[in-house]
Amino acid sequence: MGAGGDAARWEAQPWRLQLQDTRAREHRVSRAAVVAALLAEGCTAEADVAGFAGALEDRGSLSIGQVLRFVDGVRVRMALACTDDEVLQLAYLRRNAEELAERMIDWANTGRLPA
């Protein structure tokens, strides 16, 4: 499925926040600023994920799109996992990455996405 299909699938999930300005999906912000903001809010698991999600694309910055692609990659890895322990670890990682994406979407919608 192409990038447009991924976006449609993500936005179709009823429990996820809807990104009001879809152009913000690929808007890159300072990875360090996102991590600092998450830590300030006490979101240590999401801060950990923000430190490395999408780092192969861009080490210094982070976008909602990068996090969403990371979530999709973890989903694929879960399908290929060989042990229950591996599946559980990946499920935990996926949940934290989804929560990171939701928080970034909320920040984008309210004009609080770090620069």
Please state, in angstroms and rounded to a whole number, the distance separating the CA atoms of residues 88 and 81.
10
What own/partner pairs with CB < 8 Å and gap ≥ 24 does 86-93 have?
93/49
Helix-helix angle 44-52:84-109, to 10 degrees: 90
pLDDT tens string 82-102 = 999 999 999 999 999 999 999
Of the candidates 15, 27, 86, 87, the residue with the CA atom closest to the CA atom of residue 58: 27
> Which pTM value belongs to this model?
0.85
Please state, in angstroms and rounded to a whole number, the distance separating the CA atoms of residues 96 and 38.
12
Encoded amino acid at 47, one letter:
A
Q: Is the pLDDT of residue 34 over 90?
A: yes
46: pLDDT confidence band, cut at 50, 70 and 90?
Answer: very high
Question: Please, are residues 66 and 57 in contact by the beta-carbon 8 Å criterion?
Answer: yes
The whole-number pLDDT of residue 4 equals 55
7: pLDDT confidence band, cut at 50, 70 and 90?
Answer: low
* Domain residue limits, the chain: 27-109
The whole-number pLDDT of residue 2 equals 46
pLDDT tens string 19-28 = 888 889 999 9
